[in-house]
Amino acid sequence: MNDATNIAWTLTLLLATCRAAGVLLVAPPFAAMTVPLRLRVAMALVLGVAVLGRLFEPAMVAPAPASLLAAVVMELGMGLVIGLGVRLIFTGMAIGAWHVATQMGLTIGELADPSAGQNGGPLQRLLVVGAIAVFVLLDGHMQLAAALMGTYETLPLGAAWQPLGLLKFVVGLLGSSFLLALKVAAPVLLALIVVTVVLGVVQRSMPQLHVFNMGLPARALLGLIVLGGAVAALVPLTDQAWQITQRALSEAVSTGAKG
């Protein structure tokens, strides 16, 4: 191979690695702070090499600095958007768990979560880590890698893509994330509303009992009981959210390729 061909294949490897790196930087479980950055870069490079093995010719990218920089930013941005879509699944879990913990009075014990780099109570960490474990057990990480490899075929490296498709992808998954948070929190919140109403009726009927002094422990106990069912539902909830994400990603990439 001549020098021009070698440069073309090198640039193709760079672009393929940038798209994979964008996903690995933000998508759980790869984006956890416990996963070293060098390991994520190495995985992105391995995926980039795998992409090269499936190509018959290098990507059509001009070696000019401005064109190359634009292509790198575009590929990295696309990877970040894909990874963000996956991350929204677990963000929905975290939002739902936060609302449950707040209503149960457990947010007082919130501590810094070193794996996520943010504050979070034990209940929130339990649901998020549980959802990530379910995601891995369902081979979600392998399906994510397969979906990423599929984007190289639908949307070739260096090709112009329609940002509107990826924007719809993110907006749609934001709605799905809040719906997932509602599904996680709704059973516990409804149970706590019932407890509040019952305590209010009892307090109204017998003011001398001061039943609201027992309100916090009662809410916490009932919330933990109902939460057991929510934890049991992590498998179908996570699987359903991931299926929605896959379909949305496929539609977004197809739209981007048509654009």
Contact (Cβ atoms closer than 8 angstroms) between residue 158 and residue 15: yes
Q: How far apart are CA 80 and CA 7, in angstroms?
A: 26
The confidence score (pLDDT) of residue 155 equals 76
Contact (Cβ atoms closer than 8 angstroms) between residue 94 and residue 120: yes
Query: What burial class does residue 175 get, using C-beta atoms within 10 Å of its C-beta: 0-12 exposed, 13-18 middle, 19+ buried?
Result: exposed
Query: What burial class does residue 226 get, using C-beta atoms within 10 Å of its C-beta: 0-12 exposed, 13-18 middle, 19+ buried?
Result: middle
Report the number of secondary-structure helices (H) and strands (E) in the chain.
Answer: 8, 2
Residues making up the chain, counted from first to last: 259
The confidence score (pLDDT) of residue 112 equals 47
Q: How far apart are CA 39 and CA 36, in angstroms?
A: 5
Closest to 200 measured CA to CA, from 190, 211, 216, 214: 211
Which parts of the chain sit beneath pLDDT 70? Answer: 1-2, 62-63, 103-122, 159-166, 207-216, 218-220, 222-223, 227, 229-231, 255-259
Count of Cβ atoms closer than 10 Å to residue 247 Cβ? 11
Q: The whole model's pTM is what? A: 0.75
Q: How far apart are CA 103 and CA 150, in angstroms?
A: 43
Count of Cβ atoms closer than 10 Å to residue 197 Cβ? 10
